[in-house]
Structure 1
Amino acid sequence: MTIEIVGLIGVLGLFGLLALRMPVGLALIVVGTLGIWSLSNSTVALATLGDETWVVVTQSTLTVIPLFILMGNVASISGMSRNLYDAAFAFIGHRRGGLAGATIIGCGGFAALSGSSVASALTMGRVALPEMKRFEYDDRLATGAVAAGGTLGILIPPSTGFIVYAILTEESIGQLFIAGILPGLLLMILFALTVSAVCWFNPALGPAGPRSSAGERIRSLAAAAPLILIILVTIGGIYLGVFTPVEAAGVGAVLTSIVALLRGTVTISTAVSVLLRTVKTTAMTYLILIGAHVFTPFLARSRLPDLLVEQLIGLGLGAYGTLIVILLALIILGTFLEGLAMLVLTLPIIFPIILALGFDPIWFGVLMVIVLEMGLITPPVGLNVFLVKMIAPSVPLSKIFSGIAPFWVAMLAALILLILFPQIALFLPHQMF
């Protein structure tokens, strides 16, 4: 049996374990260890498992993960997400679809603290869906806006997706964070335009709300000011070179905690809950990264990535033709694989191809994260769709999937724009470095 066949069996076995609901990180560790064992011996396999585990858990750059997760959890319990939503509602709530637009803005702002699509969708969904229900918004637009807006959590920095991509490809976390700013704003604008377009065609989907007075707008903006300031300090500090991403995460976590303490929203029970959620999410992410670091050496030994590079380049599709094939494959995989799982499974295979084709790895990281976002709202998995279903159990899944369709098209448009104009993603990183 050739080493390539062993690699293929390992990949198929991995998909089999995932189908049996084995946790992603554990499945990667099992397949990677057994694969190296079969290609070398037990000593090499166990040494790789021990060494790679140590490498992951001792990387100081990975401390951004628990710190940003903590920052998002504290912001959630402190009411900052509600303040941001109220501020957006005060300024645009009187327009048709204004509440849905405010939800998109709120998700984008909260994403800049949490770095998580799940946290953004859950937090803003609990705030926005009851309000849209009160103003008789159509369920399709309401749930679609929350599900799609939540995906901004892995594009607008800080982003867990970018952190994992950086660790797996040895790229700069700071550059990836900065590269996500303009594409994140672009996607937010496209989502807002999507809301305006569907409400223009059918005004009944998103009735206009009451107009806020100048005083109400000022008060709502003042309430949201701490969150806006924290975002500017952390992300602006990275861009200006004042902070490293790790330092920015620490500063953001401290500032968010101070605001929560001053507001009196922190009790012993909420503090314990926040810390437990942070530890649980961090442990899950670390397990996936350890698994990826064990699985990648197995793939390298099997020569599958090299073989795939040769085959794709041999097709003569050209650089952009090959890129489109890769992105289409990732979009299809995203229909049944969870985002981080797809990232750690596919990057060891496709990243060498991207480098061989001469594409900028930072730019491709942004493209890949947008593809991950598309998977979050694509059936049959569509994690964000099921999260919204949990918040709004009375809304049928068919209606939620129908509601996210226009937003999925907006994401595809953003992907095409970034392929045509790479400087959208690369302009700020080039200015920064």
Structure 2
Amino acid sequence: MLIVTLLILIGLLALAIPVAAGLGILGLSLSGIYSKLPLSLAMGEIAWGTSNNFLLVAIPFFVLLGEILLRSGMAERMYNALVLWVPWLPGGLMHSNIASCAMFAATSGSSVATAATIGTVALGEVEKRGYSERLFLGTIAAGGTLGILIPPSINMIVYGVLTETSIPKLYLAGFIPGVVLAALFSLTVLVICLIRPEMGGKPTSTSWAQRIAALPDLIPPLVIFLAVIGSIYAGWATATESAALGVIASIGIAAAYRRLTLRTLLNAFEGTMRTTAMIMAILLAAYFLNFVITSIGLTGQVNRFITSLGLSKVQLLIVVVLFYFVLGMFMETLSMMVATVPIIAPVMIAAGYDPIWFGIMIIILMELAMITPPVGINLYVVQGLRKKGRIDDVIIGTSPFVITMLLMLVALSLWPQIALWLPQMAATT
């Protein structure tokens, strides 16, 4: 049954069928082959039950938040302010790319939005300051992946809904790993530029007066982050309500900067509807597929198969990491999550792994999938912004950061408290 499922899935991917349609066709195919009852009759109820989930309302809010930040110019001012604080480091603006991605990630919840936004404002500096173009592109593509690890995160919401795990606890668990991974990205750039100084671009100078004058441009993303995350942990709002507060804060800040126009709002609404429709279509199709594979007994088969292998906890973790590493080369991350997490997560939890810790591991594996060819979405986002050359340059530029992410996975495996310390502290207070 598992072999048939994989063959159908590979065939659908090879035909380049849209993800939502492919998952739906896979569900209907498995129902027709293995079920005595027409499981398609449950599609309406599944679609209503899924789309009626209050937690999922947070998704369009976070998408809208990112759209407003991009279109109001707040992201550009934030980047230009950070540029003034890092010219003394080997690698210069490449550290600004990573820091800007981390700050934007703390408001947007999306890796693609993070890479696209920071890439739009940063790419003009490559030739102007003599950076290694490949490494510069790599910092944007890899830094953009922080959008789903540093809270708030759309993918964490999806994982929480799929596994019935606390979203606030996932947000807390993602904060320290997100900051650590951003620091490791900068350390990677630093080491490369110390070994190869010519890759670090021309050094620039700036005064303390300029740095201090630019600090107000860093306040808006911090205000939005506090509105979103602070309202959750202060007990004032749920994850969904905090997303709405973030939108209100972003609109207020855009109005204060006199960048809130009717055209800005209409463009933001249009982009939000397009992205939300895509995400929800994938989720609805994936929920139907999950219903089918549970009904036909595929989930039980996979669990029994893995149990029969007699793997230790460490061996099981290695197998799962390798599975997602390979699968991430060929599948889009959101569809990969909704198609596999309902099967893999119960196996890992039954083996004794904490569901919150495993959620952070999954998110980092999704980040890894965004910069591994041939389907790494951030690679194509950055190449699309670049509008010249070959995508090979972006792939080569991100390769050091793939190694950095793998090291982060090892660190989380050896020291789970990196992810679990904050949730445990919050539970005791």
* TM-score, reference length from structure 2: 0.95
**Does the CA-based 8 Å contact 1:96-1:208 persist in structure 2?**
no
SS at match of 1:192: helix
Partner Cα distance (1:353, 1:137) in 2? 46
How many residue pairs align between the two structures?
427
SS at match of 1:229: helix
**Structure 1 residues 68 and 210, CA, compared in 2 at 3 Å: closer, same or farther?**
same
Large movers: runs of 4+ above 6 Å: none
**Aligned-pair distance for 1:93?**
2.0
Partner Cα distance (2:118, 2:231) in 1? 26
**Does the CA-based 8 Å contact 1:52-1:294 persist in structure 2?**
yes
- Which residue is 1:76 aligned to? 70
**Does the CA-based 8 Å contact 2:31-2:38 persist in structure 1?**
no
Partner Cα distance (1:152, 1:265) in 2? 27
**Does the CA-based 8 Å contact 1:137-1:205 persist in structure 2?**
yes
Partner Cα distance (1:345, 1:60) in 2? 21
- Which residue is 1:9 aligned to? 4
* TM-score, reference length from structure 1: 0.95
Partner Cα distance (1:301, 1:9) in 2? 16
Q: Which amino acid aligns with 1:297?
A: F
**Does the CA-based 8 Å contact 2:131-2:202 persist in structure 1?**
no
**Aligned-pair distance for 1:163?**
1.2
SS at match of 1:21: coil
- Which residue is 1:384 aligned to? 378
- Which residue is 1:211 aligned to? 205
Q: Which amino acid aligns with 1:13?
A: I
Partner Cα distance (1:373, 1:246) in 2? 23
**Aligned-pair distance for 1:44?**
4.1
- Which residue is 2:60 aligned to? 66
* Pair 1:24 & 2:19 matched: yes
Deviations 1:70-106 (A, max 9, x none): 1111011111211221222111123221200000000
Q: Which amino acid aligns with 2:366?
A: L
Deviations 1:304-335 (A, max 9, x none): 22222222222222011111111111101111
Q: Please, which runs of 5 or more residues in structure 1 have no aligned partner?
A: none
**Does the CA-based 8 Å contact 1:85-1:102 persist in structure 2?**
yes
Q: Which amino acid aligns with 2:21?
A: L
Q: Please, which runs of 5 or more residues in structure 2 have no aligned partner?
A: none
Deviations 1:175-194 (A, max 9, x none): 11121111100100000100
Q: Which amino acid aligns with 2:132?
A: D
**Does the CA-based 8 Å contact 1:139-1:395 persist in structure 2?**
no
Q: Which amino acid aligns with 1:418?
A: L
SS at match of 2:150: coil
* Pair 1:36 & 2:31 matched: yes
**Does the CA-based 8 Å contact 1:33-1:49 persist in structure 2?**
no
Please identify, of 366-375 and 302-311, the stretch whose mean Cα deviation from structure 2 is larger.
Answer: 302-311
Alignment of 1:43-192 (within 5 A): 44-46=39-41, 48-192=42-186
Partner Cα distance (1:346, 1:421) in 2? 25
Please identify, of 403-412 and 22-31, the stretch whose mean Cα deviation from structure 2 is larger.
Answer: 22-31
Alpha-carbon RMSD across the aligned residues, in angstroms, is 1.6
Partner Cα distance (1:353, 1:289) in 2? 22
Please identify, of 409-418 and 80-89, the stretch whose mean Cα deviation from structure 2 is larger.
Answer: 80-89
- Percentage of pairs with the same residue: 39
- Which residue is 2:261 aligned to? 267
Deviations 1:329-369 (A, max 9, x none): 11011111111121112112212211220111111111011
**Aligned-pair distance for 1:11?**
4.1
Partner Cα distance (1:383, 1:357) in 2? 32
SS at match of 2:280: helix
